[in-house]
Amino acid sequence: MSSTRTSTPPTAAGSGASASAAFRAGRQGRGTVETSTERADSILRALLGAVHQVISDHEVTYPEFQAAKNWLMEVGEGGEWPLFLDVFVEHAVEEVASRSQQGTKGTIEGPYHLPGSKRLPAHCELPRRADEKGTPLSFTGQVRDVDGTPLPGAEVDIWHADADGYYSGFAPHLPEGNLRGLVVTDDEGRFSIRTIQPAPYRIPTDGPTGRMIAAAGWHPWRPAHLHVMVRAEGHRQLTTQLYFEGGEWVDDDVARATKPELILRPVADGGGGLVQRYDFVLERD
């Protein structure tokens, strides 16, 4: 990953505020989760029991406890809970969900989705700057049911980082909607999207999440990937990420979200760009 960047990296606080606002906007109209008192009691007892066990096993001291309390307060005050939970916790929830799901493999959503992307036809180019850097990428495929039936009018909500690893809506130097789009499949469920190959990116490290990573001696990098949500009436929404074979951090993702089924192997198009086909298979609700 190149270390030369011409723009100021987004701050953890700025990214956290944007992620929090996007999450709350996306939750509107979804209602609340109905969980019985018995299940809440069971989950909370297990969670607290695990915390207590860690404290006992590792003989956590009062100064360490107070440092942890202060860190938790700073995460909340800095608006970094979406960042922390999406990077370090969501993959475990997704793995549980995937046990009962069919069709294309899913993975985490991450903190950088924004609702309301521009609606685009099946064969399109993602919005981009006139001087957008990066290797051209043609991403094509078809959306089908698990029985092979094409799904016309399905929505392929796609977003990704630019060639410097920044996301529009979270980096102030990028125009709104850059490299984001809601693509609607054609009568045969097909789509063809022209964009650029994204770069790996480092999660913001100037806040409490970054201090935790540094204290543990971890790295903050995610491999290059395309984010995709695929929706069709009567079918379960698919949320996934597609990675690039041989890319940096594919085998050492800080978010632990990569899966073998989600690795792309694009081929050269003969004109300096890349071509990749990937079909999405959705299961019925």
Contacts 24+ apart (CB under 8 A), 22-28: 22/111, 22/113, 22/114, 22/115, 22/169, 23/82, 23/111, 25/115, 26/113, 26/115
Instruction: Measure Cα distances from 52 to 49, 92, 236 in Å.
Output: 5, 20, 37
Question: Within a 10 A sphere around the Cβ of 46, how many other Cβ atoms?
Answer: 10
The model's pTM is 0.87
Q: How confident is the model at residue 22 (pLDDT cuts 50, 70, 90)?
A: low
Q: What is the pLDDT of residues 100-118, one digit of tens each?
A: 889 999 999 998 999 999 9
**Strand 221-222 with 201-202, pairing:** antiparallel
Instruction: Measure Cα distances from 54 to 34, 48, 59, 92 in Å.
Output: 30, 10, 8, 19
The answer to whether residue 119 scores a pLDDT higher than 80 is yes
Distance CA 281, CA 37 (A): 36
Task: Spell out the domains of the chain, with CATH numbers in brackets.
Answer: 12-26+35-282 (2.60.130.10)
Question: What are the φ/ψ torsions at residue 15 (nearest 5 degrees)?
Answer: -65, -40
| pLDDT (0 to 100) of residue 34 | 82
Q: What is the pLDDT of residues 182-223, one digit of tens each?
A: 999 999 999 999 999 999 999 989 999 999 999 999 999 999
Helix/strand/coil for 147: coil
**Strand 123-125 with 201-202, pairing:** unpaired
With the C-alpha atoms ordered 33, 38, 39, 41, is the resulting torsion angle positive or negative? positive
Q: What is the pLDDT of residues 70-99, one digit of tens each?
A: 999 999 998 899 889 999 999 999 999 999
The answer to whether residue 8 scores a pLDDT higher than 80 is no
With the C-alpha atoms ordered 54, 55, 57, 59, is the resulting torsion angle positive or negative? positive
Instruction: Measure Cα distances from 189 to 6, 151, 281 in Å.
Output: 40, 5, 11
The lowest-confidence range among 22-26, 46-50, 208-212 is 22-26
